[in-house]
Amino acid sequence: MTQDQLVKEIKRKQSFLCIGLDVDLNKIPEHLLKEDDPIFAFNKAIIDATHHLCVAYKPNTAFYEAYGIKGWQALEKTINYLNENYPEIFTIADAKRGDIGNTSTMYAKAFFEDLAFDSVTVAPYMGKDSVEPFLAFENKHTILLALTSNQGAFDFQTKKVENQELYKQVLETSKTWAHAENLMYVVGATKAEYLAEIRQIIPDSFLLVPGVGAQGGNLQDVCKYGMNDSVGLLINSSRGIIYASNEHNFALAAAKKAAELQQEMKVILG
Amino acid sequence: MTQDQLVKEIKRKQSFLCIGLDVDLNKIPEHLLKEDDPIFAFNKAIIDATHHLCVAYKPNTAFYEAYGIKGWQALEKTINYLNENYPEIFTIADAKRGDIGNTSTMYAKAFFEDLAFDSVTVAPYMGKDSVEPFLAFENKHTILLALTSNQGAFDFQTKKVENQELYKQVLETSKTWAHAENLMYVVGATKAEYLAEIRQIIPDSFLLVPGVGAQGGNLQDVCKYGMNDSVGLLINSSRGIIYASNEHNFALAAAKKAAELQQEMKVILG
């Protein structure tokens, strides 16, 4: 999917919501555990109930890997189900990968070819040659960790590197890499006031923003400081939506939560 | 496996060699492609031929994920084969993971429980709460990326953060985390001269050292600057050993290459 197509979908749906599919078998409704593949059954129900309210889904690979081969199968079924039934949806493998050149190419193949995701999250610590192999894929997007939403972001990301915080160095430096037009960035909502300065460095890039809701971030503030002419934001919510209920009506409850956020977004876009 | 057990094995085998199992179907002997599981068949042959010459194996997860579910199955078979047949071997999942707290716990479960690896490599960018969930597992080891062996290491890792290079900040800061005794570090052999300063910060920790051979690092230099009283080094070689030949005698050729390194190590240890 191209960035233009994503912007078009955002305007059509009046939503820039991304739903995180972080499936924990201890948290899903008990009746699903009887299914052959409870993880996929859960995802399918959530997707069918919410696809018109969001523009992206983001499975975090950790939650699938923790269940071994069955988890990986559920991830594959989920991305295939999305691509077959809702090809207009932007898909994000939240994998936070990154390795030396030839190894990053293998990761890129894993998420862009074997699993046909539109994008993957990548960690910047290993620098240019660890990220460029992802950027080389046409119409695929690499979402680089810049400023994350957790407390540990203050350990290194906000430390001054040659008079500029490390996350800003990551933004500046990555702009010079080959195919930088395929870059997006993770910027946590818990630091909304940082977004104004971030927008000075990367005015046009899409930002994937976790941390609205459960982690305390505020949607209005994020939009105030982070929105650009093409919207340029994907606001992620995971637990707040998918675990709205663990009863039989869980998908409906998730849709209700997603609709609340979508309505807020509609007002902001209007 | 405890660190003491690892040191004992190093002394018994007179080797601190780690063999990287980075299996690329384009590089393995053609006759193996007829096997049900060519990746596992390759690994099994390499392991059976080299286990007495090394103390650790390190599959890089990228090479398995690139083949989807079949790749993940081959990884599972490989770790199970190692644990059943060679329990004295230290196993490393080279996964370079890292995420917010509850998500890192899922990754830790994936590699320490579902796949019973002794250790996993982790990226430091997201800070303390992204690493501590790994450290919480008893008798398991977290190998934190400090200074990697690729060119991109100079993009951020060697940049000065408050008058100290970022990778040194990572070393210093990580020492203060809960269960820091379970930490080891990745330090590339291509920067052997940096090891003297690194040893001043972390005198006792084990270092996993990639980049000897193929990437240009020198074993003598690494040992000169990096060895401590408990040896404290695991020298990794991947392509140089496992792709020594792609003929029927590939496992023997790999063993010959591994034996050359082991003999060098024996001289250094003696």
Handedness of CA A181, A186, A189, A192 (dihedral sign): negative
Is A230 inside any structural domain? yes
Contact between A62 and B127 using a beta-carbon 8 Å cutoff = no
**pLDDT value for B85:** 98
Is some CB atom of chain A closer than 8 A to the CB atom of B27?
Answer: no
Is the distance from CB of B254 to CB of B9 less than 8 angstroms? Answer: no
Select from A23, A61, A109, A126 the residue whose CB has the most chain B CBs within 10 Å, as the one to mutate to test that interface: A126
d(CA A247, CA A29): 6
Q: Per-residue pLDDT averaged across A224-244, rounded?
A: 96
Name which of A63, A106, A127 is nearest B106 (Cβ-Cβ): A63
**pLDDT value for B192:** 81
Q: Which residues of A touch B75 (CB under 8 A)?
A: none
Is A260 inside any structural domain? no
Name which of B24, B104, B123 is nearest A123 (Cβ-Cβ): B123
Tens of pLDDT, residues A24-35: 999 999 999 999
d(CA B255, CA B264): 14
Contact between B68 and A114 using a beta-carbon 8 Å cutoff = yes
Does A109 have pLDDT greater than 90?
yes
What percentage of chain A carries pLDDT values higher than 70? 98
Could you tell me the CATH number of the domain that includes residue B8? 3.20.20.70
d(CA A175, CA A191): 22
Contact between B114 and A160 using a beta-carbon 8 Å cutoff = no
Which two three-digit tokens encode residue B53? 């010459």
Q: Per-residue pLDDT averaged across A142-164, rounded?
A: 94
Contact between A130 and B152 using a beta-carbon 8 Å cutoff = yes
Name which of B67, B125, B154 is nearest A157 (Cβ-Cβ): B125
Is A258 inside any structural domain? no
- Written as one letter, the residue type at B12 is R
Q: What ipTM was estimated for this complex?
A: 0.96
Is some CB atom of chain B closer than 8 A to the CB atom of A33?
Answer: no
Q: Which residues of B touch A157 (CB under 8 A)?
A: 125-127
Select from B126, B174, B186 the residue whose CB has the most chain A CBs within 10 Å, as the one to mutate to test that interface: B126
Q: Per-residue pLDDT averaged across A224-252, rounded?
A: 96
Contact between B159 and A151 using a beta-carbon 8 Å cutoff = no
Which two three-digit tokens encode residue A188? 């946590």
Q: Residue B25: exposed, middle, or buried by beta-carbon count in 10 A (0-12, 13-18, 19+)? A: middle
Is some CB atom of chain B closer than 8 A to the CB atom of A97?
Answer: yes
Number of structural domains in chain B:
1
Contact between A106 and B65 using a beta-carbon 8 Å cutoff = yes
Q: Per-residue pLDDT averaged across A74-90, rounded?
A: 98
Q: What's the domain range around B11?
A: 3-269
Name which of B104, B149, B156 is nearest A166 (Cβ-Cβ): B156
Contact between A156 and B162 using a beta-carbon 8 Å cutoff = no
Which two three-digit tokens encode residue A17? 């919501």
Closest-CA distance of chain A to residue B11, Å: 31
pLDDT band at A216 (very low <50, low <70, confident <90, very high): low
What is residue B192's DSSP assignment?
G
**pLDDT value for A215:** 60
Q: Which of B172, B186, B178 is nearest to B120 (CA)?
A: B186
**pLDDT value for B215:** 60
Closest-CA distance of chain A to residue B117, Å: 13
Please identify among residues 108-147 of chain A the ones whose CB lies closer than 8 Å to any CB of chain B. Answer: 109-110, 114-115, 123-131, 145
Is some CB atom of chain B closer than 8 A to the CB atom of A54?
Answer: no
Q: Per-residue pLDDT averaged across A218-244, rounded?
A: 95
Tell me the average pLDDT of chain A: 96
At B247, is the secondary structure helix, strand, or coil?
Answer: coil
**pLDDT value for B216:** 62
d(CA A236, CA A220): 14
Q: Per-residue pLDDT averaged across A150-171, rounded?
A: 94
How far is residue B108 CA from its own chain's centroid? 16
Is some CB atom of chain A closer than 8 A to the CB atom of B232?
Answer: no
Name which of A123, A151, A166 is nearest B98 (Cβ-Cβ): A123
Tens of pLDDT, residues B40-60: 999 999 999 999 999 999 999
Q: Which residues of A touch B166 (CB under 8 A)?
A: 156, 159, 161, 166
Q: Which of B11, B70, B77, B96 is catalytic?
A: B96
Is some CB atom of chain A closer than 8 A to the CB atom of B93?
Answer: no
Please identify among residues 164-223 of chain A the ones whose CB lies closer than 8 Å to any CB of chain B. Answer: 166, 169-170, 173
Tens of pLDDT, residues B143-193: 999 999 999 999 999 999 888 999 999 999 999 999 999 999 999 987 788
Which residues of chain B, if any, have pLDDT below 50?
none
pLDDT band at A212 (very low <50, low <70, confident <90, very high): confident
